[in-house]
Structure 1
Amino acid sequence: MQRAPEPAFGDLIDTPLGSLIALVDEQGALLRLDFPPEDQPLTVWHGYVWQRDTAAVAPIARQLGEYFAGQRRVFDLPLAPRGSTYQHLAWRYLREVPYGVTLTYAQLGERLLPHKTSARAIGRANALNPISIVVPCHRIIGADGSLTGYAGGLARKQALLELEGVLTPGSQAALF
């Protein structure tokens, strides 16, 4: 049975990598931050029916602007992503991966022990991460240093890692 859409407030935020849609709850906690397809209507987005509220997402837009200007390495925003207990645990560990550092899916999985996880489970939690950039799933790479799986597209993942100094244009990620 599909749930009824939840209410949210949001807006599109322009970034050097394209527009992001930011959705927050009534308390201003970030529910979703995604790169939406340009041709998709956005009245209902991932189970949220939202109304435009630029002021509600202003703190997110400000911190993203600072990040893209190289002035912010850690986000300080209230978060309220929807997900399972395991997904919340995985996303918490993702937020602990520092700016400018990459880990493999297996390395992140090792941090989640003793929660008996695998690189595949980490990959699934990453794929379902509803808060792009702030919950930095772009910092998780393949075992061979390759860029794999990013909902915003691999070109954006590469650009984010270049911004953080992990990659030089056209290079492969160094493993840490």
Structure 2
Amino acid sequence: MIRTHTVIDSPVGPLTLVALDGLLTGVYMRKQRYLPPQEFFGHPDPEPFGEVTAQLGAYFAGTLKEFDLAMNLVGTPFQKEVWAALQQVPFGETLTYGGLAERLGRPPSAARAVGSANGHNPVSIIIPCHRLVGANGDLTGYGGGLPVKRYLLDFERGTLF
């Protein structure tokens, strides 16, 4: 297994892109809650990230609403199930943690488990964990911080000032 990384600038600050055997496995913000140790990132190499960088650039330019990237996600089967379901939450929309649990055929009590899996999403922005909100619609925790979550949601809704 070969891990490589590069750092790109974005409107939400620097993003560290990580690849495992040439496939995207992580997009980390500087203040990421569950930031892996530095050795996890492997050696610097921008080579595997051309398409990722292009799609993130198009997203932040407002011309891309759905990412189409090959990824090598590392997580539990439940986490992967949640991450796959997150990718079905449309650009500019939000869903509650309980709503996502329901989409997965789980009881409302699974909302906390969904929240935990969401919080451990290794590919922020591309797997849109920022689109999950609390039961009453309030913003709740976000690995990159609530101001970044608010920015991403406002950006997607076209309500940035």
Considering the TM-score relative to the shorter chain, is it more than 0.5? yes
Aligned to 1:23: 18
Q: CA contact under 8 A between 2:23 and 2:71: conserved in structure 1? A: yes
For residues 69-108 of structure 1, the C-alpha deviation after alignment (integer angstroms, 9 at most, x for no partner) is 0010010111111100111111110011111110000100
Aligned to 1:67: 59
Calculate percent identity across the aligned residue pairs: 39
- RMSD (CA atoms): 2.2
SS of equivalent to 1:131: coil
Residue type of the partner of 1:135? Answer: I
Cα distance in structure 1, aligned partners of 2:75 and 2:18: 15
Q: CA contact under 8 A between 1:7 and 1:49: conserved in structure 2? A: no
SS of equivalent to 1:12: strand
SS of equivalent to 2:57: helix
* From 140, 143, 158, the counterpart of 2:135: 143
Q: Which runs of 5 or more residues in structure 2 are unaligned?
A: none
1:156 corresponds to 2:151: no
Aligned to 1:82: 74
Q: Which runs of 5 or more residues in structure 1 are unaligned?
A: 1-5, 171-176
Residue type of the partner of 1:29? Answer: L
The equivalences for 1:1-176 within 5 A come to 7-26=2-21, 28-37=22-31, 43-44=38-39, 48-114=40-106, 118-165=110-157, 168=159
State the TM-score, normalized to the length of structure 1. 0.83
State the TM-score, normalized to the length of structure 2. 0.90
| Structure of greater relative contact order (alpha carbons < 8 Å, 6+ residues apart) | 2
Q: 1:89 to 1:125 in 2, by over 3 A?
A: same
Larger Rg: 1
Q: 1:49 to 1:163 in 2, by over 3 A?
A: closer
For residues 11-58 of structure 1, the C-alpha deviation after alignment (integer angstroms, 9 at most, x for no partner) is 0010011001000122x21111110249x9x742xxx24111112112
Structure with the bigger percentage of helix: 2
Cα distance in structure 2, aligned partners of 1:55 and 1:150: 29
